[in-house]
Chains A and B, each alone.
Chain A
Amino acid sequence: MGRVAGLLALAMLLLPAGVAAQQRPAFAMQPGRVVAAALPASILSDREVERRLRSGLTATFVLEAKQRDAARRGASRIEIRFDLWDEVWIARRVEFDGKEERQRIATRAALEKWWSAPLRLFAAAADRVALQVTLTVLPFSPAEGEDARAWISKTGEAVGEGSPLIAAMVGTTVSAKPIRSYRWSAEVAAP
């Protein structure tokens, strides 16, 4: 009985640490001192993120990294949209150096696998660097926001009534507010 209670206490102690570890990306330094991050699938499983992914809008994940002891920084982006007609995932990643990759992914498991592949963030100045990394999840892409803005701005003209000022005011208010933000610190060294 005492042994069971001890195990339970240990499990309770380890559980939050396990969750935290699961949430944390794995950072690594690739050849050419390029720092890359492998994002955990748990981010995609977050309830709010999941809801946005299923909406059909393009969820945008912006990953920014800053080298703590130098002015170096870099940013990469992942965009995921669930195509409601074909019921496939349209995924796109743009790395810090502009390298772009697009995928059409049929299943959720395949999406998670693609998601977890290392994403190149920036080229470090040394073999060992301390990083500050932030991940911001936006509910829709700039293009979708712009489309909605244009549509609202035209509402006044289409209806033939109402104030263009109000339509313009409402139109310029549309912007993607982050639904989730994560921040990590890490030390990465060349292998």
Chain B
Amino acid sequence: MRRSIAFLVLAVAAATMLFWLAIHQVSGFWLDMALRPDVRQALERSMDDQKRLRALDAEHADDYRRRFESTRMLLHRLEVLRMSRAQMLRRFELLLVASFALAAALAATSVWARARRAQARERTEYLDRVAVLQETARRHAHEIKGPLAAARMELERAADGAPPAIRAALESAGDELERVARFIREHASFAAIGAPVLRPVSLEQAIGEFCTTFANAWPNVALRFGGGDATVCADRDLLRQVLVNLCTNSARAIDGDGAVAFSVVRRGAKIAVDVADTGGGIAESLRARVFDPYVTTRRTGEGMGLGLSISRKIMLEHGGDLELVESSPAGTTFRLTFGERECS
């Protein structure tokens, strides 16, 4: 957004400059046309003629005088105009350039406002889409949970006193049911994200605590806090969940040992937290869809691709957003932006 505003400002400035260059030529030309020296010479000749006529025809001297005076007045007005030429040209150009700049600025503002509206619409649609998926997940989890629990109890009962070969087969079936249970738990947790309860949170304190508490959660990842502080209105538990989701993804993306660095940054009036890892990056084909639910690079059974969707939903409900800032083979940076919502 910031980049597009800078581009718009540059475009308006460049267009204004070009417009000024054009009108500088055109307006100077028209003004010079109005002040042509031959017009002045013709008026001077006319005045001389009136004086000569007075000498030849004294009877009509008053008429010649009147004509002389009216020509003189015209000549003097043109002379005053000629002496004010530079000033007039400057004012004229200023007026045109100001009008053009105003029109360009209005157009740019309209484009910017449209972009903001489109962004707001995209966020609303995203939240609606995720809400529908959450409801679906909740219903699926609810429908599967009961029969699954019954099936697992039946398996345990059947295994009691069964011959070893049968018991092994039943345990294998139990493992498969456990996979289904994990799947359902993940669905249930997606469905259970509640609305944030916003309280004042010191980001320095919250991130510092997170780095300490989760220091050993991902053995291949060192958590680093780059500093910066700001107090925002946030739900501390949900914020922690977002950070956990991002770090889990980073840990999977880092081949060998690596790091995740957190830093608090100010983006104009907004406050953000940048989360940058040293992983291998996100495939370019996935970057545009990375926040869509069920988009994942993992193999079947290793996760459903809901972590980033959940995280973005949480941040949108904070009045902010979660964005992918950049991703390359050297690492990926996500940005958590906090909105200007009041604390509850």
Contacts and interface: CB of A to CB of B under 8 A. Distances in A.
A140 B73 contact: no
Interface in A89-127: none
Nearest to A170: B88
A7 interface: no
A145 B80 CA distance: 7
Contacts of B68: 84-85
Given A173-B87, A175-B87, A84 B80 contact: no
A148 interface: yes
A152 interface: yes
Instruction: Assign chain B's interface to a size class.
Output: 20 to 34
Interface string A140-151: 100011011001
B91 A173 contact: yes
A57 interface: yes
A63 B88 CA distance: 27
Contacts of B75: 56
Contacts of A139: 83
B92 interface: yes
B282 interface: no
A50 B84 CA distance: 19
A148 B91 contact: no
Interface string B46-74: 01000100000000000001001100110
Interface residues of A, number: 21
Nearest to A87: B51
Contacts, number: 60
Nearest to A149: B80
A3 interface: no
Contacts of B84: 148, 173-175, 177
A140 to B, nearest CB: 6
B67 to A, nearest CB: 11
A55 interface: yes
B116 interface: no
A21 interface: no
A8 interface: no
B80 A144 contact: yes
A144 B76 contact: yes
B80 A140 contact: yes
Interface string A42-74: 000000000000011100000000000000000
Contacts of B73: 147
B80 A57 contact: yes
A140 B78 CA distance: 12
A140 B83 contact: yes
A56 B48 CA distance: 13
